[in-house]
Amino acid sequence: MNILLLGSGGREHSIASKIQKDIGNFSLFTAPGNAGMIHLGENVDIDINDFEAVNDFVSKNKIGMIVVGPEAPLAGGIADFFENSPVSVIGPSKAGAKLESSKDFSKKFMLKYSIPTAKYLTVEKNTIAQGKDFIEKLSAPYVLKADGLAAGKGVLILENKQEAKSALEEMLNGKFGEASNKVVIEEFLDGIELSVFIITDGKNYKILPNAKDYKRIGEGDTGLNTGGMGAVSPVPFADAGFLNKVETKIIKPTIQGLLNENISYKGFIFFGLMKVGNEPFVIEYNVRLGDPETEVILPRLESSIIDLFEGVAFNDLKNREIRISDKTTATVMLVSDGYPEDYEKGKEITIPNITDCEIFHAGTKIKDGKIVTNGGRVIAVTGMGNNIEEALKKAYSGVEKINFEGKKYRSDIGKDLLF
């Protein structure tokens, strides 16, 4: 069975390397891929949101499975498009993808299935007055979320009521385009964040390694939000008792809710959680793996990822094995100077032969035979060790060896987790 993997980031490079380990004599194609993935499969230049083009490639290349990296094709309905074809799609239906593509939908879902989450109210232009009343009743800070996909930028956290009310008006007046036609106003949860991941065939699930992501650009979690500057797995403050609560209060009711709603869901669920005291709350669902979380999760997966994918495709995930290494992984993202705002592309990257860490390309491409930068997040460097210190030491030794003009990274990834 040939596999087509959609996406071009560090997440997809990491998925591609795991697939390549288990694929045997079959072929891996990556669309559009990046400079790191060309050694693992063949990069193909197709628009991953053009399902007819994807289908054309699938039928000409004996593709049996499509693995979807990012959310956009899922929200656009790629799983529904291929539903009655012999090709299996690893990724939920459009209805399932609404868990990520509509915050209002996901909040209603959580409320209906008693899944712990922040108190909220969804407002539209004609109910703005109720929104302002709701803000009056909350205490600072105030969380406002665009209902739709807004490239990770749709969440605002405001310190005072006046700012929150003005921001609500701006959002409803198109600050994030159509994505903020509806706005979810939320109670602020004061705690510590972590991410938990599962893979599911819609009925059975397997829990993947958990991770902590470092979202801000600056040291000590300061400055603008990014897609993620680094990650560590496992999260030391997520002990067995806490993870047990995550499973019973969040994972099980989520799967049961999808079943009750008749929503076809075959793929990953990423639970963005807040640990408040010792209780888990869902901040958000994503319907894909995280980036850079994947770069620490998959290196810890010892069993075959293709076996899990086949379990999803054939609805027998419960019979498949999952083995996870008890080692710790840490990843550090090298980014372009200026990211997450404006930055230049096309800087030549030098990567010596590195053996004690894994290199995952994100925004890279080949130009005139050289590897050059092609995005804000450029390369993730993952180290593995017996503890966070060892994993970080390896990752940072790789970070030092890779160079390009304007290379920036956070030097404090995982430091808050060291005791």
Helix (H, G, I), strand (E, B) or coil at 41: coil
Whether the CB-CB separation of 198 and 252 falls below 8 Å is answered with: no
Minimum separation from the CB atom of position 407 to ligand GLY (A): 20
| Contacting residue, 104, 186, 201, 293, with ligand GLY by CB under 6 A | 293
- Work out whether 104 is an interface residue with ligand AMP (CB under 6 A): no
Minimum separation from the CB atom of position 231 to ligand GLY (A): 7
Span of 289-297, 315-323, 351-359, 374-382 interacting with ligand GLY by CB under 6 A: 289-297
Whether the CB-CB separation of 103 and 184 falls below 8 Å is answered with: yes
**Closest among 119, 132, 6 to 69, alpha carbons compared:** 6
CA 330 remoteness from chain centre: 16
The residue (of 215 and 415) whose beta carbon lies closer to ligand AMP is 215
Q: Pick from ligand AMP, ligand GLY, none: which does 286 bind, CB < 5 to 8 A by kind?
A: ligand GLY
| Contacting residue, 48, 99, 282, 283, with ligand AMP by CB under 6 A | 283
Q: Pick from ligand GLY, ligand AMP, none: which does 358 bind, CB < 5 to 8 A by kind?
A: none
Whether the CB-CB separation of 337 and 343 falls below 8 Å is answered with: yes
- Work out whether 143 is an interface residue with ligand AMP (CB under 6 A): yes
CA 332 remoteness from chain centre: 16
DSSP for 172-209 reads HTTTTGGGGSSEEEEPPP-SEEEEEEEEESSS-EEEPP
Whether the CB-CB separation of 122 and 136 falls below 8 Å is answered with: no
| Contacting residue, 213, 295, 310, 358, with ligand GLY by CB under 6 A | 213
The residue (of 36 and 70) whose beta carbon lies closer to ligand GLY is 70
Span of 82-90, 165-173, 181-189, 348-356 interacting with ligand AMP by CB under 6 A: 181-189
Minimum separation from the CB atom of position 155 to ligand AMP (A): 4
- Work out whether 290 is an interface residue with ligand GLY (CB under 6 A): yes
Consecutive H or E run containing 129? helix 128-137
Task: Say how many CA atoms lie within 13 Å of 136 toward its Cβ.
Answer: 6
The residue (of 227 and 311) whose beta carbon lies closer to ligand GLY is 227
Question: Binders of ligand GLY among 227-246, rule CB under 6 A?
Answer: 227-228
The residue (of 71 and 186) whose beta carbon lies closer to ligand GLY is 71
For residue 76 the two structure tokens come to 């656009």
Backbone angles phi, psi at 138, to 5 degrees: -85, 165
Whether the CB-CB separation of 313 and 90 falls below 8 Å is answered with: yes
Could you tell me how many residues make up the chain?
A: 419
The residue (of 14 and 254) whose beta carbon lies closer to ligand GLY is 14
Minimum separation from the CB atom of position 227 to ligand GLY (A): 6
Angle at 26 between CA 23 and CA 30, to 5 degrees: 80
Q: Pick from ligand GLY, ligand AMP, none: which does 164 bind, CB < 5 to 8 A by kind?
A: none
- Work out whether 291 is an interface residue with ligand GLY (CB under 6 A): yes
Q: Pick from ligand AMP, ligand GLY, none: which does 335 bind, CB < 5 to 8 A by kind?
A: none
Helix (H, G, I), strand (E, B) or coil at 110: helix
| Contacting residue, 106, 286, 304, 374, with ligand GLY by CB under 6 A | 286
The CA distance from 150 to 182, in Å, is 12
Whether the CB-CB separation of 193 and 273 falls below 8 Å is answered with: yes
Cβ contacts of 231 within 8 Å, gap of 6 or more: 211, 212, 213, 214, 290, 292, 293, 295, 296, 330, 331, 413
- Work out whether 295 is an interface residue with ligand AMP (CB under 6 A): no
For residues 192 to 231, the per-residue mask of contacts with ligand AMP, x marking binding by CB under 6 A and - elsewhere, is -x--------------------------------------
| Contacting residue, 4, 31, 118, 333, with ligand AMP by CB under 6 A | 118
The CA distance from 273 to 283, in Å, is 5
| Contacting residue, 155, 276, 322, 324, with ligand AMP by CB under 6 A | 155
**Closest among 140, 173, 171, 175 to 157, alpha carbons compared:** 140
| Contacting residue, 189, 297, 306, 330, with ligand AMP by CB under 6 A | 189
Q: Pick from ligand GLY, ligand AMP, none: which does 291 bind, CB < 5 to 8 A by kind?
A: ligand GLY
| Contacting residue, 284, 291, 295, 358, with ligand AMP by CB under 6 A | 284
Chain positions contacting ligand AMP, by CB under 6 A:
118, 143, 145, 155, 186, 188-189, 193, 272, 283-284
Binding footprint of ligand GLY on the chain (CB under 6 A): 213, 227-228, 286, 290-291, 293
